[in-house]
Chains A and B, each alone.
Chain A
Amino acid sequence: MNCKEVNELLLDYVEGNLPPYLKNELKTHLENCIRCQKILALTELENSLLKDTSDIPELDEEFTRQVMKKIALLPAPLPQRAVIKKFISTLAALAACLLVAFMLHYAPWTPDKENNIKDVRMAMDPKGTAYLSKADSLKSQEGAKYFHEDTSSKISAPAPKEGEAFSAASTGDNSTVYSGGKEEVKMSSAKSGQKINPENYSVITDIKIAGLPADYVLQTSRQIDENRVQYVYTNHNQNTITIEISLPYAEDKMAAKNFMSADTLQEKSSQTISLTDVKSLEDKAYKVTITADLPAEELNQLLSSIELVKN
């Protein structure tokens, strides 16, 4: 082995990538060659210095705070491409089946037979990955399957029969697609960080809080389960105000009111407290719970300033 050959192998030697026979040959050469010994020393030094980041200052806590502050203002993350990829084969099969079904039984596809379904909402699934984009491509045909296709998701569902609710299942992700009314399924997509219009609360489109402290912004609004929606507000210190609205606590608002006769003051921790009240909208009662790290009096004021806003 000559110096040139040794030189070519020095890096592998230093990094332990050489097979034993080459390693031995190289060692033998190195024992007798001062030049190559020096190149070896330089290579080892370079390796150690390239790993050395001691000259780079570290980022402080303020950096993290700035990032967290900025993401609070960002729109929700985009759809989950990675999951979609996994479903491509499923989707292709589904699309083929639907096509065949249409061709055999319902052909030709006539857009004028679209019913008045405007959109389908996929409620937040437990993993929080549900989404659905534009509504305008939702097409349907009586008795056929609804098929919504866009770049990010696909859903399919049997057409609702008279008097039945629309229900659908998504193949675009693992979320549940919630059903709507028989006349018009008017829903919206629900994803983390975006305002939702839960069908279970069809009359509520938003909540208004008159006394919300100035630096709190809406961070997430999501449906926790079919009975509860949650709005989370945070400020730059990452303090949070959580407002949870539950399904009509009782059919009769009075009954609910009696049960909740006194605002429940619950000690969640030494600082965080929850207050609950019942608010009505369109003859329905909703249980509204607010949780925050604020003095009880301030929280109570906030709670009383919450207004459910109708569609």
Chain B
Amino acid sequence: MLSDETLVLRLRDGEITAFEELVNRYKNKVFALVYRMVGDYQEAEDITQEVFLNIYTKINQFDSEKKFAPWLYRIATNTAISHLRKNKNRNHLNFDEVFSGLYSSLQASWDVVDPLLNMERVELKEEINKALSKLPENYRIIILLRYQLELNNQEIAQILNLKKENVEVKVHRARKALRKILEEQQTGKGVKHEL
């Protein structure tokens, strides 16, 4: 199988089928990322299409000595986030603002751990998706890049324009914030269990 980077070179040579191959390789990963960001199937599909059109028009800006995937995900991330900001004034907050607000109460609430653990996998999955959608977009994207796309710190740093050393810290903070929301969802249901 040809590498992504070889396909890019072929596309630059005018071989349009190379682009088709890139679309087929990445459409579902990009779609999954965008879908979790925006939460709406149709909107996600439209944005995914826009991502690939952006990729095409910017293909000459891609540095062919680098890896293609992080560059593509950077465009996908930026396109999705700019849509979020354009359409709604959603809960975009600076990493550290969010962190200072949530950190103080990040101690695990023991009384929701059991209910969460006792849920069916599908049910917990739904709870996590719900919590993800409530997460500030900067936290959400870092979780998606790390876990859904399984990218390493170097790649995430490149995509989000962060220092590599800061990525791990931000992943931790995002996970804590996610856990916090997960817990709030449970206490909001009025479920209380004493250990």
CA distance A222 to B32 in the complex (A): 37
Specify which of A49, A78, A219 is in contact with B61 (CB 8 Å cutoff). A78
Is residue A280 within 8 Å, beta carbon to beta carbon, of the partner chain?
no
A157 to chain B, nearest CB (A): 23
Q: How many residues of B contact A (CB 8 A)?
A: 55
Is residue B45 within 8 Å, beta carbon to beta carbon, of the partner chain?
yes
The total number of A-B Cβ pairs within 8 Å is: 130
Contact B53 A67 (CB under 8 A): yes
Contact B148 A63 (CB under 8 A): no
Contact B61 A222 (CB under 8 A): no
A234 to chain B, nearest CB (A): 7
Contact B108 A39 (CB under 8 A): yes
Q: How many residues of A contact B (CB 8 A)?
A: 51
Fill in one digit per residue for B149-174: 1 if any A CB lies within 8 Å of its CB, else 0: 01000000000000000001001100
Specify which of B52, B57, B60, B128 is in contact with A46 (CB 8 Å cutoff). B128
Interface residues of B (CB under 8 A from A): 9, 12-14, 16-17, 19-20, 23-24, 27-28, 31-32, 35-36, 41, 45, 48-49, 52-53, 56-64, 107-108, 110, 113-114, 116-117, 121, 124-125, 128-129, 143, 147-148, 150, 168, 171-172, 175, 178-179, 182, 195
Interface residues of A (CB under 8 A from B): 4, 7, 11, 17, 35, 38-39, 41-42, 45-47, 49-53, 55-59, 63-64, 66-68, 70-72, 74-75, 77-83, 85, 126-129, 192, 219-220, 222, 232, 234, 238
Pairs A-B, 8 closest by C-beta atoms:
A82-B63, A50-B147, A80-B60, A81-B61, A77-B60, A128-B12, A53-B32, A56-B32
